[in-house]
A = this chain, B = another copy of it.
Amino acid sequence: MRDFSGDHRWLSINTATVRKSRGHDARLTDIIEDCARRGIRAISPWRDQVAAAGLRTIANLAKTHEMELSGYCRGGMFPATDPLGLRAAHQDNCRAVDEACELNASCLVLVVGGLPGALAGKPAHKDIAAARTQVRDGIAELLEYARAAGMPLAIEPLHPMYAADRACINTLEQALDVCDQLDPARSGALGVAVDIYHVWWDPKLQAQIERAGSKRLLAFHVCDWLTPTTDMLNDRGMMGDGVIDIPRIRGWIEGCGYAGYSEVEIFSTANWWQRDRGEVLDTCIQRHRGAV
């Protein structure tokens, strides 16, 4: 396992972590400058942040700072109630692939979606199996496009507490079943993003990481699980503040040959998003060295 204690060359900042500074929306250009100033070599930005700043602006700024993109957040949200909705999702996902290419991201992360309408509190139906079929079909279709564009797709299994409204792929095993089905040759065009927040609890985690192997481990996201967790979406902890044995999981990942970035992704309305961005980034660096 790589020694992270001496530097932070393998730290990436998912820009949702510093989406807000002192409670105010942050500009992605400012985030990138602050990361560059600290020698942070990689980020993973969100589409809305990129759109707000301008795609070319961000692509150029990343180039200027030789900043890599450990991923691009995010494609997905495949399920819909009708063919028109499915088509719109596909087209939007193709645009996400194009943007990821423009930004030279290492992969497009897929949060696959749940029951149509559920995120808005109005689920159109209760058939999660049907949603999963739409997700598989949607990934299959997008994979053709992404493969031609040379952009790997990383399915991110989300914690089961998001099964209804955000992603109906909820375990690494399930994500890898989709990979086996759609890319049996393990070409590298389709893989997974392992975010420990979503998968840490899984008794089959180690076995499934080994099953994934380096060809399918496209991204590794870290934060921590707090006890208690006061909000189901926006109460993630800083690495070291919760109950996840992060080094153990990183050991499994790297034992399979993963040698990419460790990307910090923290949604935290009440705590980290209330702090100054510099403090948050400095803390990420410190914890990356000591708690990851």
**A residues lining the B interface (CB < 8 Å):** 115, 118-119, 121, 123, 126-128, 132, 159-161, 163-165, 168, 170-171, 174, 200-203, 225, 227-229, 232, 243-245
Q: Are B170 and A203 in contact (CB under 8 A)?
A: yes
Give chain B nearest CB distance to A126 CB in angstroms: 4
- Residues of the B chain whose Cβ atoms lie less than 8 Å from the Cβ of A123: 227, 243
Give chain B nearest CB distance to A119 CB in angstroms: 8
Secondary structure class of chain A's binding surface, majority of residues: loop
Q: Are A160 and B202 in contact (CB under 8 A)?
A: yes
Q: Are B159 and A161 in contact (CB under 8 A)?
A: yes
Q: Are B128 and A201 in contact (CB under 8 A)?
A: yes
Q: How far is the CA of A202 from the CA of B164 in the complex (A)?
A: 11
- Residues of the B chain whose Cβ atoms lie less than 8 Å from the Cβ of A164: 201, 225, 227, 243
Given A127-B245, A128-B245, the answer on whether A170 and B118 have CB atoms closer than 8 Å is no
- Residues of the B chain whose Cβ atoms lie less than 8 Å from the Cβ of A232: 161, 228-229, 232
- Residues of the B chain whose Cβ atoms lie less than 8 Å from the Cβ of A168: 201
Q: Which residue of B lies closest to A119 (CB)?
A: B227
Given A227-B121, A229-B232, the answer on whether A201 and B126 have CB atoms closer than 8 Å is no
Q: Are A163 and B201 in contact (CB under 8 A)?
A: yes
Q: How far is the CA of A115 from the CA of B118 in the complex (A)?
A: 32
Can you report 25 residue pairs joining A to B where beta carbons are below 8 Å apart? A118-B243, A119-B227, A121-B228, A123-B243, A128-B201, A128-B245, A132-B203, A159-B161, A160-B160, A160-B202, A161-B161, A161-B229, A161-B232, A163-B200, A163-B201, A164-B201, A164-B243, A165-B227, A170-B201, A170-B203, A171-B203, A174-B203, A228-B232, A229-B232, A232-B232
Which of A161, A200, A227: most chain B Cβ within 10 A? A227
Q: How far is the CA of A244 from the CA of B99 in the complex (A)?
A: 36
Q: How far is the CA of A126 from the CA of B229 in the complex (A)?
A: 16
Q: How far is the CA of A202 from the CA of B168 in the complex (A)?
A: 9
Q: How far is the CA of A200 from the CA of B174 in the complex (A)?
A: 15
Q: How far is the CA of A275 from the CA of B132 in the complex (A)?
A: 37
Given A161-B232, A165-B227, 18 new contacts (CB under 8 A) = A115-B243, A118-B227, A121-B227, A121-B228, A123-B227, A126-B244, A126-B245, A128-B245, A159-B161, A160-B160, A160-B201, A160-B202, A161-B161, A163-B200, A165-B228, A168-B201, A170-B201, A232-B232
Q: Which residue of B lies closest to A198 (CB)?
A: B160
Q: Which residue of B lies closest to A132 (CB)?
A: B203
Q: Which residue of B lies closest to A122 (CB)?
A: B227
Closest 3 CB pairs of A and B: A163-B201, A126-B245, A160-B201
Give chain B nearest CB distance to A62 CB in angstroms: 35
Give chain B nearest CB distance to A124 CB in angstroms: 10
